Amino acid sequence: MSARLAVSNLGISYGAYRVVRDLNLEIGGGEIVGLLGSNGSGKSTTVKVLTGINQPDSGSVITFNGDVLGARDFNAVALRRRGIRVVHQESPLVDDLTVAEAIAIHIGFPKKFGVVRVRELNARAQQMLDDFEIPVDAAALCGSLTAGQRALTSFTIALAGIQPDKALLILDEATASLPTRDAERYLRRVREAARRGLSVLMVTHRLSEVRDFCDRSLVLRNGENVAEFTAESFDESAVVHAMVGGSVELYASRHENAGARDGAADLSVSGLFGPGLEGVSLTASSGQIVGITGLSGGGASEVLRALGGIEQASQGTISIDGREVVIREPRDAIDHGVYYLSSDRIAEGGVMELTVEDNLTLPKTERYGWGAKRGVDSDRMIDQMGVHPTDPSVGFGSLSGGNQQKVLMGRWLLLDPKILLLDDPTAGVDPNAREAIFAALEKVRASGGTVLIRSTEPAQLARLCDVVLVFRDGQVIQELRGSELTTEEISLATYA
Ligand SMILES: Nc1ncnc2c1ncn2[C@@H]1O[C@H](COP(=O)(O)OP(=O)(O)OP(=O)(O)O)[C@@H](O)[C@H]1O
């Protein structure tokens, strides 16, 4: 039987810049294939060809269900009609629509005499959700869904109106911002769909997902296919080796931490109320990495946003080095040496139209003057964070997602942060970049800074943090320290 998707000699270029070369890939019916690679290795670019955003170079041959695709097929509508569907990391659901309406946008509204039949609309959507045991009410507003439910709704939309045994689902880091537990739940649904014949191409940086859910996986490096693993031969260190062309050094781990000063609460928050916050109190000392976790909407992201001046607290006090400060907007936070890195790097971080150097040095622009210092600083950060490409004059908007994240992190590191607030900084970054981020945090800690980091991956927090604060209903409900800092304890406290 022929493969569902067969790609041979795929080349993809941006102008004269060849980003993908000679890529060969086959996916059989009902197979789940992982696509791995460092940030900037060409994964998204490949997905963009299969979803009709990019055109392949001439000489590339792509066959889907036995049909060789021609130039006219490479547009989003035609490929979707053929049964190639994609789910991205951010679910573009309109908050004011119900789940049933969001599904109907893609497959049509049931109508009689031009009037939408709401009962039928809801019943049909509920049937689709129930078919995959997705715990979502079809009549609920999309805006009321948790992150995990949103992701599962997007999955349902992607599968709407297709025959699984003729289709290909592409997961483009679909689980990157989900907590580990929700991601597993999600991928179990994907596996069920694969049992029904759906073919799946899964782009992810979480190697454990590939180990647990993929039948095979390919590794891209600099746009070339450098290794292939079966479920049996899959080995995390061999994969990472193939991704980076060398080994990854492991940096920070909390056992190395000697910097924390006991009792010196350099950041102290008391009775903080505000959007999503119901009286948060916490302290963090110089030289500490404080982990923040909790279900979405529980206050973990919200407290970082309030401290960073993105949202305004309505009540409560924030003190730094024993002095009360007022943080109403990002500028106030920055003036006190408090820097916030959002999980939404596009909306709240980088300026797409500016260069990498501009983005790195943005908050310090007025201090540079005419000397070469600006270039020296930006080169140093490009090197420290392993930004690719290394040319500081390229547009920030042309960097891959993971490389954008490294630049935004580098921007704050250049300012020697006193307090660094990071909201899920490793979502969508490859293992090498993750280690570069951890190494940078270790430096901040060693120089007496304080880091508050939210992560959806309990294993990361267990490895990195001196203390982990668990949030629920807008409050800190538990503090884990010392021997409690294990993946299991953190997961239990977060989800139980
Ligand atoms: N519009 C563009 N113009 C020029 N170069 C681009 C453009 N988009 C991407 N690139 C370059 O193509 C290369 C591959 O990027 P791509 O986004 O495919 O990487 P990726 O493997 O998906 O990375 P990540 O894991 O960070 O998302 C990168 O070097 C990137 O800088």
HEC readout, 54-94: CCCCCCCEEEECCEECCHHHCCHHHHHHHCEEEEECCCCCC
Q: 19 CB under 6 A from ligand 1? A: yes
State the chain's mean pLDDT as an integer: 89
Q: How far is the CA of 45 from the centre of ligand 1 (A)?
A: 6
Q: How far is the CA of 431 from the centre of ligand 1 (A)?
A: 17
Take atom 4 of ligand 1 and give the residue whose Cα is closest.
398
Confidence check: pLDDT of 215 > 90 = yes
- pLDDT computed for residue 493 by the predictor: 87
Rounded distance between C-alpha atoms, residue 338 and residue 389, angstroms: 29
- pLDDT computed for residue 369 by the predictor: 66
- pLDDT computed for residue 247 by the predictor: 58
- pLDDT computed for residue 263 by the predictor: 43
- pLDDT computed for residue 256 by the predictor: 45
Take atom 25 of ligand 1 and give the residue whose Cα is closest.
39
Rounded distance between C-alpha atoms, residue 50 and residue 167, angstroms: 12
- pLDDT computed for residue 370 by the predictor: 64
Instruction: Output the CA angle 455-461-464, nearest 5 degrees.
Output: 125
Confidence check: pLDDT of 170 > 80 = yes
Over the stretch 275-289, which tens digit does the pLDDT of each residue have?
999 999 999 999 999
Instruction: Looking at the CA of residue 40, tell me the nearest atom of ligand 1.
Output: 19
Q: How far is the CA of 383 from the centre of ligand 1 (A)?
A: 18
Q: 291 CB under 6 A from ligand 1? A: no
Confidence check: pLDDT of 430 > 90 = no
Q: Which residue has the higher pLDDT, 261 or 343?
A: 343
Read off the pLDDT of each residue in 40-56 and give the average, rounded to a whole number.
93
Q: How far is the CA of 44 from the centre of ligand 1 (A)?
A: 7
Read off the pLDDT of each residue in 350-379 and give the average, rounded to a whole number.
83
- pLDDT computed for residue 492 by the predictor: 83
Q: Of 359, 296, 303, whose CA–CA distance to 147 is shortest?
A: 296
- pLDDT computed for residue 496 by the predictor: 65
Out of 137-146, 189-198, 218-227, 255-264, pick the least confident: 255-264
Percent of the chain with pLDDT over 90: 65
Rounded distance between C-alpha atoms, residue 425 and residue 176, angstroms: 11
Query: Do the beta carbons of residue 435 and residue 249 sit within 8 Å?
Result: yes
Confidence check: pLDDT of 362 > 90 = no
Query: Do the beta carbons of residue 313 and residue 274 sit within 8 Å?
Result: yes
Q: Report pTM.
A: 0.78
Q: Which residue has the higher pLDDT, 348 or 441?
A: 441
